[in-house]
Structure 1
Amino acid sequence: MNLPEDPATPDPAPAGPASLRASDADRDRVADRLREALAEGRITPEEHAERIDAVYRARTYAELEPVLHDLPAPNDPPAPAVSLRKEPEAAPPPAPQSSALIAIFSGAERKGRWLVEPHTSATCVFGGIELDFRRAVLSQREVTVNITAIFGGVEITVPPGVRVVSSVATVFGGVEPVEDELDPDAPTIRLTGLVLFGGVSVRRREVGASRAALRRERREEHRRRIEDRRAEREERLAERRRERDERREAR
């Protein structure tokens, strides 16, 4: 008896774009967009860390798309499989400006939404410069600000989630960077240069924080420094008393 032939197995349906495997370049593009979103203040450092983990665990475009679903599209769209819908109200990219700021017996500032070039120089002689990075767009993950401050000062404001690394040389001056334990992959502002009879201060503030809040922060910081110095003096006095008592006992 002849058995009926098994029906032919149908060919599998062609895979859609979302089910295609993502490449390392695709994942890197999405990670770069997340770093830009962090620098723009669109996502928090915690959200950035969670999404970066999801990006490098993703195997397909379908797993990458949700990471960027609530972010506006950049001008240069990524690969079609991870492209974003264009938001009509999305702000245009900031126009390039001079990467050199100079203040001699005067002041200069850069704030608002501005494009941070890979290398920026800030030179002040008997003057001051203010750099506010809270709404700035970094041109790359790590940018460098070269500072020359002679009898002058530079005040830098950064948003949460941005690292500040200082290698500025000081002569009768000082640099006060923020101390934070941040992700090594976080956007980084590297400070270089020379401070002579001047100072550089770095403060971390949320976007939209008021000047009154900044003044309160400065007063609180000043109070903490006074308390720290007082505690150091008391510790030195206590150490001297212990040494004096030990000498008396030895005699």
Structure 2
Amino acid sequence: MSNGASRFGSMRAADTDRIQMAQLLTDAAAQGLLEMSEYEDRLKKAYAAQTIDELDRLSADLPGIATTAPASGPGRPAPSTLLLAIMSGFERRGRWNVPKRLTSVALFGGGVIDLRYADFTATDVEITSYSICGGQTILLPPELNVDVRGVGVMGAFDRDADEGSPGAPRVTIRGFSLWGSVGIKRKKRKAQQ
């Protein structure tokens, strides 16, 4: 962590420290060092951690996983991104860096934004989704906090997004659908083969 020395262990953890630990745990799960259920349990604890000590304990038993911040560290959010599907489709799946602002447009097309395996580079993320005669699906992991503010006009914009875990990133989803849909679904992660 940013202050990984043991004498700093009781220091309060910053959002960047929690995000970095989430990324380290994701690395460990991808390498097969953690079962999916244990990964999700540790991830919830990482987002709820108040001190550096609590974060360090989450990776202490993982061989070869660095617990100190690299020089480049997760200091800046990924750049804003536009996902566009005009009579076509887009998919954002697997491991990718979620920007602070993401805009998606489906015009006579469709798309999938899967946040279950993604690395968050900011604690507050804004997704603006527009679907016109098209459809989009946004897949959320169980711990993510979500605020939905979209509108469907002769179409659908899901509003079913319950609270996640304390301290986990918050995603605000806004936008509209016209003769289309924006579906928002919570889905557990699958074990990696």
Q: Normalising to structure 1: TM-score of the pair?
A: 0.56
| Structure with greater contact order relative to length (CA < 8 Å, sep ≥ 6) | 2
Q: Which residue of 2 aligns with 1:32?
A: 19
User: What residue in structure 1 maps to residue 152 of structure 2?
Assistant: 170
Structure 1 residue matching 2:6: 3-state secondary structure: helix
Higher normalized strand content (fraction of residues)? 2
How many angstroms apart in 1 are the aligned matches of 2:142 and 2:28?
Answer: 8
Q: Does the residue aligned with 2:143 lie in a helix, a strand or coil?
A: coil
Which residue is equivalent to 1:126?
108
Alignment of 1:143-158 (within 5 A): 143-158=125-140
Counterpart of 2:98?
116
CA contact 2:136–2:182 (8 Å) conserved in 1: yes
The residue aligned with 1:23 is 11
Distance 1:52 1:174, change over 3 A: closer
1:18 counterpart letter in structure 2? S
Identical counterparts, % of pairs: 27
- Structure-1 residue corresponding to 2:124: 142
Q: Residue 147 of structure 1: CA displacement?
A: 0.9
Would the alpha carbon gap of residues 162 and 175 (structure 1) be closer, same or farther in structure 2, given more than 3 Å must change?
same
Match of 1:86 in 2: none
Q: 1:69 aligns with which of 60, 77, 80?
A: 60
Structure 1: segments with no counterpart, 5+ residues: 1-16, 79-95, 211-251
Q: 1:40 to 1:97 in 2, by over 3 A?
A: farther
Q: Structure 2: how far apart are the matches of 1:203 and 1:125?
A: 21
Shift of 1:35: 4.5
**Amino acid of the residue matched to residue 113 of structure 2?**
L
The 5 A counterparts of 1:55-66 are 55-56=49-50, 58=51, 65-66=56-57
Match of 1:246 in 2: none
Distance 1:136 1:52 in 2: 15
Residue 39 of structure 1 deviates from its aligned partner by: 7.4
Deviation, structure 1 residue 76: 4.1
Deviation at 1:73, TM superposition (A): 3.3
Q: Which runs of 5+ in 2 are unaligned?
A: 30-38, 72-77
Aligned residue-pair number: 170
- Separation of aligned partners in 1, 2:28 and 2:140: 10
Residues 19 and 120 of structure 2 are in contact (CA less than 8 Å); yes or no, is this contact kept in structure 1?
A: no
Determine the structure 1 residue equivalent to 2:42: 47
Letter in 1 for 2:155: G
Give the secondary structure class of the aligned counterpart of 1:167: strand
RMSD across aligned positions (CA): 3.3
Higher helix fraction (1 or 2): 1
